[in-house]
Amino acid sequence: MSFTVTIDDDNNGTATQVVVVTITGTNDLPVINAAATVVSEEGLLAGIIDNIGDPSDQTDLKTNGGVITFTDPDASDSSAFTVSLSGPSTNVYSDEQLVSWSWDSQTNTLTGSVGNTVIMTIVLGSVSGDVSGYSVAYTVNLLGPVDHELNSIEDIMLLNFGVTINDGSGDATTTLSVTIEDDSGVDQVDESLVHDISHSVGSTVTADLFNPGADGFGEVNFELITSGLKHDGYDLVYTMSGNTLTASANGVDIFTLTAVLDGNGHYDYQFVLLQEMDQEAIVNYDIGSAPAGNNLTYFVDFDGSIYAQNGQAASVISTITGYTNGVSSQINSNSHGIGVGPQTSISANESIKIEYGVDGTSILAVNLGTNNNGNHTGSADIQYIVTYSDNSTKVVNITTTNGIFLIEELEHNGLAIMSIEIFHVNGEDFQINGLSSSGIIFNSPIDLEFAYTATDNDGDAIPFTNDNNGHFYITLTPDNYVPNAINNAYKVDSGGVISSNVITDDTGSGADSDANGHNLKVTHINGAELTFVNGIATVNVAGGVLTIQEDGTYTYQHNGNGSAPVRFTYEISDSNGGTDTAAVEIEIFNHQTLNPGDDTHQGSDGNDLIVSDTTSIVPGEDYNIAFLIDTSGSMGQSAVNTAKAQILSVIEQLVANASQPNSGTVNILLVDFASSAQTLISIDLTANDVLTQISDAMRSMSSGGQTNYYAAFNEVYNWFATGLASQNSGTNLTYFITDGRPTSDGGIPGSSYQNGLAAFNLLSALSIIQAIGLGNNINSNVLENFDSDGQILNNVDVSNLADAILQSSLLPGNDVITAGDGHDIVFGDLAQFTGINTQGYDALKEYVSTQTNISINDITDVEIHGYISEHTDEFDISGADDGSDTIYGGNGNDILFGQGDDDILIGGLGSDVLIGGTGSDIMDGGVDTDRDTFVWNLGSADGSTDTVVNFDVNYDALDLSSILIDEETGTFSLDQYLEFNFSGGNTEISVDSNHDGVTDLIIVLENVDLTDNNSLSDNQVITNLLNNENLIIDTIP
């Protein structure tokens, strides 16, 4: 290329020159862009299509492709280009063999292979071009699995293949990225399926195990979860070899479990039983089933039931015998444990021996407790001797602490324990209150639980889920075995009726069964053969009458006398003559509503519901009620007539209550007084035409005269002291109704007021007196002196007199309640609820009926007891006038409500719930190993100090969930609510219920140090309590 340049110097001088430019060019190589692609092993022949890749699956295809695009300004057309591929930059393995790569320019194919097996190909198409550039399509074919790096997941492998493009003048290179998604196996066990096969040699079962997927089978491992399997007295041992688990005992193969290939390329498990086997399990003895009375020996069945006769046990695993001075004695039991002789304890010169049969036991545990009444106090020196299967012995001397002790022994050097004998040496007598040992499960199905793990040939583990964890189940069922009778427990009100079925019921431990499916029949009650008349047998059992049919359907009618638990045994038989025996225990529930004022009450042996106080007339209770009515001239005849009608309406209600079933005895006295007093009528409300008689007696009431308190009180006193009321031990109530102060003494020396007060004091020794002032003519300061608790009703309109009487308030007393045995609920004071006019048990009945939607006519003590037990927070009701009560729970799992004032709650034995309520209470859970719970609700935040006695950090709990406000939100740390201080041997807990910096309650844990002598912070103490489950709070959502 050339051009001419001319230069002018502005003076007409010019110069011209020709300039020649020569351009020497270079060849530009192609510019390449290779689009990546993805293929998946899940598309291979045995691949498993799913969405569980990590990262997530992009494709299920084994063949995929893309386009390589490029530009080249020097090329004239697409024929100028040659495109080739080379193997990836990293090594690739298949089945742990290196994949080799070769390029075939004739077919434009890159091939990866192991030996003669092709694993993968990439095939290029022809180059094409247009105005935008050039392109060549490629296709990736995954023909076999490759080894991925990670074994625990379906991961990906990224391979970068070489791409070379030649434009006739030179090569341009880049990489083509191909991602290979992994495939892994899948679990195929049906965990909902239990294979029930015969417990006989040669029995087999085969079922799905897993699909290894595209990578093929790797390895498998089986594990038996079930423990305690034996053959001929020898423990089974397990060996995994290849794909087979073999169980053997003493050199004899018992069963095999093998992973076998099925026709679909999947793997199954195949179980083959080669020899029969036994199962040993820990048997917890049912101490409560031990028959009372003096027995020579106890026989313990394989299910833990204890019998006095050998034939009653299906398979005896041990015997229990008592000795006195080394000579066989009698064995006995009560509700607390087992002992020797009539005292049901082991005392001086006595021992008790448990022998474990020809096979012995590998483990034993014996719980001991001093005394024979469940009160494990004091200490005892004890010696026990363990005898092993080679007749060697072990002698141990111990001293019980806190009245309880646990003996635990294991087999020694492979020697089974044949017996243990426990001797009293010194100190308190003691009982056995807990026993367990190993035993062979007799004549029952054996449930085998297996687990497995497996990998595919790439090393990927077969994945499991929450729903499928790789466990499968096989049950070995005997061809013929005896039935299994299971103890049942029921609940019924005292005097009530219960109907059910002892065979088909499952009241906690299962229903009676027969693995062969034979029909079961009841044949004996308490060991006596039944005689059926028209299909029904009638038997007198403890506390009532039992009617029962062969199919187990029964009705039990409690006689209402006493409330001790009822127990009887029954025997069942199958069609092949197999028998078994079980026990039925029926808990009896009853209720008591006590009187106003101070009561001392002893509960029953049943499950009591006790309300210690009332504040008015309660239906069903015994009463002597005197109505003392002022008819002086100041009343006026109209008011007297109204008062008569009002009192008659009260009596009509009392008569209606008296006509109900189980009503109490109610005697009525009507006295009108003015200048003198006269008895209008004294009558039992169950008398014939009682309302007519009372109405007729009231006709003589008329207004006139002065007001003589002395005569009025004296007349009523005589009725309580020597009249009809003296024949009825019920609550004595006097309703003293007047409109004015005393104005007459009836000629008795002294002032009207003083004479009236003297007569009142005599009457108040026999009766609770409720004063009601009519109108506004009487001073409250005067009337208060003629009322038992000073809580008068004054300024009452005569037209409202009936309501005043029925709603009058009598103060709760300071009660002493001993609940006794059973699972009792005791209220120290009142049971009353807003919107419910009744009190005591009737109030509880109405409240629970409303809450449960059970008709008040149908609801039972059992249901009321159960509802209160589950909703204790609804019943912690304290009143300003509540008394200082002392409540002893006794034996059983009791719920004690102290309610208002300063109460003492003593739980006794069992898992008790103690709720002090308001006031400064003392709460004692008792010395035992049961979990007692001490509860404080929001009403307890009254500035009081509660003391907790015998709090055991190993078992007991403080429930502050209701008294702490908003702790569940996490807004405030728990140390803003609770402060701990150790002082004087006690831990003091200061509770700030609303975290305002003011202490609302102090809890003193007597003789307990939670703070390690104040070295722990509040948060550390709280953490310890929460970790030990000693502190109950509302949890953070």
- The domain spanning residue 236 has which CATH number? 2.60.40
Chosen domain end from 181, 200, 228: 181
**What's the pLDDT band for 502 if we cut at 50, 70, 90?**
very high
Q: Are residues 902 and 818 in the same domain?
A: yes
Q: Are residues 816 and 793 in the same domain?
A: no
Q: Where is 316: in which H helix or E strand? A: strand 316-324
**Per-residue pLDDT tens digits for 375-425:** 888 888 999 999 999 999 999 998 876 788 889 999 888 899 999 999 999
CA dihedral 115, 120, 125, 127 (to 10 degrees): -90
Please count the other Cβ atoms lying within 10 Å of the Cβ belonging to residue 481: 20
Which tokens hold the place of 224? 């038996």
Q: Over 90: is that where the pLDDT of 780 sits?
A: no
In a domain, 563, yes or no: yes
Q: Are residues 170 and 55 in the same domain?
A: yes
In a domain, 140, yes or no: yes
Q: Over 60: is that where the pLDDT of 810 sits?
A: no
What is the reported pLDDT for 662? Answer: 66
In a domain, 295, yes or no: no
Q: Are residues 667 and 730 in the same domain?
A: yes
Question: With the C-alpha atoms ordered 840, 842, 845, 847, is the resulting torsion angle positive or negative?
Answer: negative
Q: Are residues 909 and 818 in the same domain?
A: yes
Q: Where is 731: in which H helix or E strand? A: strand 731-738
Q: Are residues 77 and 174 in the same domain?
A: yes
Mean pLDDT of the chain: 87
In a domain, 665, yes or no: yes
Q: Are residues 210 and 239 in the same domain?
A: yes
Q: Are residues 517 and 576 in the same domain?
A: yes
Please count the other Cβ atoms lying within 10 Å of the Cβ belonging to residue 156: 19
Report the predicted TM-score, pTM, of the whole model to 2 decimal places.
0.51
What is the reported pLDDT for 787? Answer: 85
Q: Over 80: is that where the pLDDT of 768 sits?
A: yes
Chosen domain end from 138, 161, 181: 181
How many structural domains compose the chain? Answer: 7
Q: Are residues 929 and 941 in the same domain?
A: no
Q: What is the side-by-side order of every strand in the sheet holding 816-818? A: 600-602, 816-818, 886-888, 904-906, 922-924, 945-949, 1001-1005, 986-991, 978-983
- Rounded to an integer, the average pLDDT of 341-345 is 77
In a domain, 77, yes or no: yes
**Per-residue pLDDT tens digits for 545-574:** 999 999 999 999 999 888 889 999 999 998
Q: Are residues 52 and 114 in the same domain?
A: yes
Q: Which of 267-271, 370-374, 733-737 has the lowest mean pLDDT?
A: 370-374
- Rounded to an integer, the average pLDDT of 740-766 is 81
Residue 947, strand partner residues: 922, 1004
Residue 282, strand partner residues: 438
Please count the other Cβ atoms lying within 10 Å of the Cβ belonging to residue 238: 15
Q: Are residues 52 and 169 in the same domain?
A: yes
32 in Cβ contact with 70 (< 8 Å): yes
Q: Where is 697: in which H helix or E strand? A: helix 690-697
In a domain, 304, yes or no: no
Among the listed residues 202, 196, 214, the one whose alpha carbon sits nearest the alpha carbon of residue 147: 214
List the helix and strand counts (H, then E) for the chain: 9, 71
Chosen domain end from 899, 916, 935: 935
In a domain, 790, yes or no: yes
Find the CATH number of the domain harbouring 397: 2.60.120.260
**Per-residue pLDDT tens digits for 425-466:** 998 899 999 999 887 776 678 999 999 999 988 888 888 888
Q: Are residues 556 and 508 in the same domain?
A: yes
826 in Cβ contact with 896 (< 8 Å): yes
**Per-residue pLDDT tens digits for 171-205:** 889 999 998 888 778 888 998 889 999 888 999 99
Greater model confidence, 194 or 509: 194
Q: Domain containing 342: what range?
A: 314-440
- Rounded to an integer, the average pLDDT of 586-603 is 84
